[in-house]
Structure 1
Protein backbone atom coordinates (compact mmCIF):
# COMPACT_ATOMS: atom_id res chain seq x y z
CA UNK A 1 0.00 0.00 0.00
CA UNK A 2 1.12 3.49 -0.74
CA UNK A 3 1.05 6.55 1.49
CA UNK A 4 -1.74 9.06 1.19
CA UNK A 5 -1.61 11.76 -1.45
CA UNK A 6 -1.75 15.37 -0.25
CA UNK A 7 -5.29 15.64 -1.65
CA UNK A 8 -6.43 12.54 0.26
CA UNK A 9 -4.80 13.81 3.44
CA UNK A 10 -6.52 17.20 3.08
CA UNK A 11 -9.89 15.49 2.54
CA UNK A 12 -9.41 13.26 5.59
CA UNK A 13 -8.36 16.22 7.73
CA UNK A 14 -11.50 18.08 6.66
CA UNK A 15 -13.64 15.03 7.48
CA UNK A 16 -12.07 14.77 10.95
CA UNK A 17 -12.48 18.48 11.65
CA UNK A 18 -16.12 18.46 10.52
CA UNK A 19 -16.94 15.45 12.71
CA UNK A 20 -15.19 17.03 15.70
CA UNK A 21 -17.08 20.29 15.15
CA UNK A 22 -20.38 18.41 14.93
CA UNK A 23 -19.66 16.54 18.16
CA UNK A 24 -18.49 19.72 19.89
CA UNK A 25 -21.80 21.39 19.11
CA UNK A 26 -23.68 18.65 20.97
CA UNK A 27 -23.89 19.46 24.66
CA UNK A 28 -23.14 16.24 26.49
CA UNK A 29 -22.63 16.21 30.23
CA UNK A 30 -19.31 14.86 31.42
CA UNK A 31 -19.79 11.27 32.63
CA UNK A 32 -18.51 12.19 36.10
CA UNK A 33 -20.11 15.62 36.34
CA UNK A 34 -22.62 14.52 38.95
CA UNK A 35 -25.41 16.22 37.02
CA UNK A 36 -28.03 13.60 36.22
CA UNK A 37 -30.40 14.06 33.29
CA UNK A 38 -33.30 12.50 35.19
CA UNK A 39 -33.85 13.44 38.81
CA UNK A 40 -34.68 10.78 41.36
CA UNK A 41 -37.81 11.90 43.17
CA UNK A 42 -40.02 10.17 45.70
CA UNK A 43 -41.63 7.52 43.53
CA UNK A 44 -42.29 3.82 43.43
CA UNK A 45 -39.40 1.31 43.30
CA UNK A 46 -40.10 0.67 39.61
CA UNK A 47 -39.91 4.37 38.82
CA UNK A 48 -36.61 4.62 40.69
CA UNK A 49 -35.26 1.66 38.69
CA UNK A 50 -36.25 3.41 35.47
CA UNK A 51 -34.59 6.63 36.60
CA UNK A 52 -31.37 4.74 37.45
CA UNK A 53 -31.43 3.01 34.06
CA UNK A 54 -31.94 6.29 32.20
CA UNK A 55 -29.12 7.94 34.13
CA UNK A 56 -26.79 4.97 33.50
CA UNK A 57 -27.57 5.12 29.78
CA UNK A 58 -26.92 8.85 29.76
CA UNK A 59 -23.55 8.40 31.48
CA UNK A 60 -22.60 5.67 29.00
CA UNK A 61 -23.55 7.88 26.03
CA UNK A 62 -21.50 10.74 27.46
CA UNK A 63 -18.53 8.38 27.83
CA UNK A 64 -18.82 7.31 24.18
CA UNK A 65 -19.13 10.95 23.12
CA UNK A 66 -15.95 11.88 25.01
CA UNK A 67 -14.05 8.86 23.66
CA UNK A 68 -14.99 9.67 20.06
CA UNK A 69 -13.92 13.30 20.47
CA UNK A 70 -10.61 12.14 21.97
CA UNK A 71 -10.01 9.78 19.00
CA UNK A 72 -10.72 12.58 16.53
CA UNK A 73 -8.33 14.97 18.31
CA UNK A 74 -5.64 12.28 18.36
CA UNK A 75 -6.09 11.67 14.63
CA UNK A 76 -5.74 15.39 13.93
CA UNK A 77 -2.60 15.49 16.09
CA UNK A 78 -1.16 12.57 14.08
CA UNK A 79 -1.79 14.55 10.89
CA UNK A 80 0.18 17.44 12.35
CA UNK A 81 3.14 15.28 13.45
CA UNK A 82 3.23 13.27 10.21
CA UNK A 83 2.35 9.87 11.68
CA UNK A 84 -1.22 9.83 10.35
CA UNK A 85 -2.06 7.06 7.92
CA UNK A 86 0.46 4.59 9.34
CA UNK A 87 -0.47 1.62 11.51
CA UNK A 88 0.54 2.06 15.15
CA UNK A 89 1.37 -1.67 15.43
CA UNK A 90 3.23 -2.63 12.25
CA UNK A 91 4.09 0.80 10.82
CA UNK A 92 2.69 0.00 7.37
CA UNK A 93 0.46 2.50 5.58
CA UNK A 94 -3.25 2.18 6.34
CA UNK A 95 -5.26 1.87 3.14
CA UNK A 96 -6.96 5.01 1.86
CA UNK A 97 -10.29 3.18 1.59
CA UNK A 98 -10.10 2.25 5.30
CA UNK A 99 -9.26 5.81 6.27
CA UNK A 100 -12.10 7.17 4.15
CA UNK A 101 -14.47 4.85 6.01
CA UNK A 102 -12.91 5.45 9.45
CA UNK A 103 -10.66 8.53 9.35
CA UNK A 104 -9.73 8.05 13.01
CA UNK A 105 -8.36 4.51 12.38
CA UNK A 106 -5.05 3.83 14.10
CA UNK A 107 -4.48 0.29 12.82
CA UNK A 108 -4.36 -1.31 9.40
CA UNK A 109 -6.96 -3.98 8.59
CA UNK A 110 -4.62 -6.88 9.45
CA UNK A 111 -3.60 -5.48 12.83
CA UNK A 112 -7.19 -4.45 13.65
CA UNK A 113 -8.39 -7.97 12.84
CA UNK A 114 -5.72 -9.47 15.10
CA UNK A 115 -6.60 -7.02 17.89
CA UNK A 116 -10.29 -7.92 17.67
CA UNK A 117 -9.54 -11.63 17.84
CA UNK A 118 -7.64 -11.23 21.14
Structure 2
Protein backbone atom coordinates (compact mmCIF):
# COMPACT_ATOMS: atom_id res chain seq x y z
CA UNK A 1 0.00 0.00 0.00
CA UNK A 2 1.32 3.43 -0.91
CA UNK A 3 1.66 5.91 1.94
CA UNK A 4 1.49 8.95 -0.38
CA UNK A 5 -1.71 10.98 -0.49
CA UNK A 6 -3.31 12.28 -3.69
CA UNK A 7 -1.76 15.75 -3.35
CA UNK A 8 1.73 14.34 -2.92
CA UNK A 9 1.27 12.01 -5.89
CA UNK A 10 0.07 14.91 -8.04
CA UNK A 11 3.05 17.04 -7.00
CA UNK A 12 5.54 14.26 -7.78
CA UNK A 13 3.90 13.40 -11.10
CA UNK A 14 4.02 17.05 -12.14
CA UNK A 15 7.72 17.20 -11.25
CA UNK A 16 8.45 14.10 -13.36
CA UNK A 17 6.42 15.42 -16.29
CA UNK A 18 8.20 18.78 -16.10
CA UNK A 19 11.61 17.10 -16.14
CA UNK A 20 10.61 14.93 -19.10
CA UNK A 21 9.23 17.94 -20.98
CA UNK A 22 12.44 19.88 -20.35
CA UNK A 23 14.53 17.01 -21.69
CA UNK A 24 12.23 16.64 -24.69
CA UNK A 25 12.78 20.29 -25.61
CA UNK A 26 16.57 19.99 -25.73
CA UNK A 27 18.32 19.46 -29.01
CA UNK A 28 20.27 16.37 -27.95
CA UNK A 29 20.40 13.77 -30.70
CA UNK A 30 18.98 10.44 -29.64
CA UNK A 31 21.76 8.52 -31.34
CA UNK A 32 24.21 9.11 -34.15
CA UNK A 33 23.88 6.46 -36.85
CA UNK A 34 26.72 7.39 -39.18
CA UNK A 35 29.61 9.76 -39.68
CA UNK A 36 27.33 12.39 -41.19
CA UNK A 37 25.24 12.44 -37.97
CA UNK A 38 28.23 13.33 -35.80
CA UNK A 39 28.36 16.87 -34.41
CA UNK A 40 31.85 17.56 -35.73
CA UNK A 41 32.95 16.17 -39.08
CA UNK A 42 36.48 15.00 -39.69
CA UNK A 43 38.40 16.85 -42.32
CA UNK A 44 41.87 16.15 -43.54
CA UNK A 45 44.01 17.97 -41.03
CA UNK A 46 46.79 17.22 -38.62
CA UNK A 47 46.63 14.12 -36.39
CA UNK A 48 46.11 16.36 -33.34
CA UNK A 49 43.07 17.96 -34.96
CA UNK A 50 41.68 14.54 -35.83
CA UNK A 51 42.12 13.44 -32.23
CA UNK A 52 40.26 16.53 -31.03
CA UNK A 53 37.42 15.91 -33.48
CA UNK A 54 37.15 12.29 -32.35
CA UNK A 55 37.13 13.36 -28.70
CA UNK A 56 34.39 15.94 -29.34
CA UNK A 57 32.30 13.37 -31.20
CA UNK A 58 32.80 10.79 -28.44
CA UNK A 59 31.71 13.32 -25.83
CA UNK A 60 28.65 14.25 -27.89
CA UNK A 61 27.68 10.59 -28.30
CA UNK A 62 28.13 9.98 -24.58
CA UNK A 63 25.97 13.00 -23.75
CA UNK A 64 23.29 11.73 -26.12
CA UNK A 65 23.39 8.35 -24.39
CA UNK A 66 22.98 9.96 -20.96
CA UNK A 67 20.12 12.08 -22.31
CA UNK A 68 18.29 9.02 -23.68
CA UNK A 69 18.88 7.05 -20.47
CA UNK A 70 17.55 9.91 -18.32
CA UNK A 71 14.41 10.14 -20.46
CA UNK A 72 13.89 6.37 -20.11
CA UNK A 73 14.19 6.60 -16.30
CA UNK A 74 11.59 9.38 -16.21
CA UNK A 75 9.22 7.46 -18.49
CA UNK A 76 9.59 4.38 -16.28
CA UNK A 77 8.70 6.41 -13.18
CA UNK A 78 5.66 7.92 -14.91
CA UNK A 79 4.52 4.46 -16.04
CA UNK A 80 4.47 3.36 -12.40
CA UNK A 81 1.63 5.83 -11.78
CA UNK A 82 -0.49 3.85 -14.23
CA UNK A 83 -0.06 0.52 -12.45
CA UNK A 84 -0.26 2.03 -8.97
CA UNK A 85 3.26 1.04 -7.96
CA UNK A 86 4.74 4.53 -7.83
CA UNK A 87 6.34 5.18 -4.46
CA UNK A 88 7.03 1.52 -3.74
CA UNK A 89 10.56 0.13 -3.56
CA UNK A 90 11.28 -2.20 -6.47
CA UNK A 91 13.43 -4.42 -4.28
CA UNK A 92 11.66 -4.82 -0.92
CA UNK A 93 8.17 -3.56 -1.83
CA UNK A 94 8.13 -1.07 1.03
CA UNK A 95 7.16 2.56 0.72
CA UNK A 96 9.68 5.11 -0.48
CA UNK A 97 9.48 8.17 1.74
CA UNK A 98 7.96 11.38 0.42
CA UNK A 99 11.09 13.38 1.27
CA UNK A 100 13.21 11.00 -0.85
CA UNK A 101 10.75 11.24 -3.72
CA UNK A 102 10.75 15.03 -3.49
CA UNK A 103 14.53 14.98 -3.91
CA UNK A 104 14.50 12.26 -6.58
CA UNK A 105 11.00 11.69 -7.95
CA UNK A 106 12.33 8.94 -10.21
CA UNK A 107 13.72 6.91 -7.25
CA UNK A 108 13.18 3.17 -7.64
CA UNK A 109 14.51 2.05 -4.26
CA UNK A 110 13.92 3.06 -0.67
CA UNK A 111 16.84 4.48 1.30
CA UNK A 112 17.75 1.14 2.91
CA UNK A 113 17.77 -0.78 -0.38
CA UNK A 114 19.60 2.03 -2.20
CA UNK A 115 22.28 2.02 0.52
CA UNK A 116 22.70 -1.76 0.20
CA UNK A 117 22.85 -1.43 -3.59
CA UNK A 118 25.56 1.23 -3.42
CA UNK A 119 27.65 -0.81 -1.00
CA UNK A 120 27.77 -3.77 -3.42
**Mapping for residues 78-93 of structure 1, pairs under 5 Å:** 78-93=80-95
Unmatched 5+ stretches in structure 2: none
User: What is the match of residue 66 of structure 2?
Assistant: 64
Write the mapping of 1:1-118 to structure 2, written as runs, cut at 5 A. Answer: 3-34=3-34, 35-118=37-120
How far apart are 1:33 and its partner, in Å? 2.6
Q: Distance in 2 between matches of 1:79 and 1:32?
A: 32
8 Å Cα contact 1:31-1:60 kept in structure 2: no
TM-score, structure 1 normalization: 0.95
- Matches of 1:33 and 1:8 in 2, distance apart? 41
Q: CA deviation at 1:31?
A: 2.7
CA distance in 1, matches of 2:53, 2:66: 20
Long gaps (5+) in structure 1: none
> Does the CA-based 8 Å contact 2:32-2:38 persist in structure 1?
no
Could you state the TM-score of these two structures normalised by the residue count of structure 2? 0.94
The one-character-per-residue Cα deviations of 1:73-92 (angstroms, maximum 9, x if unpaired) are: 11000011100000000000
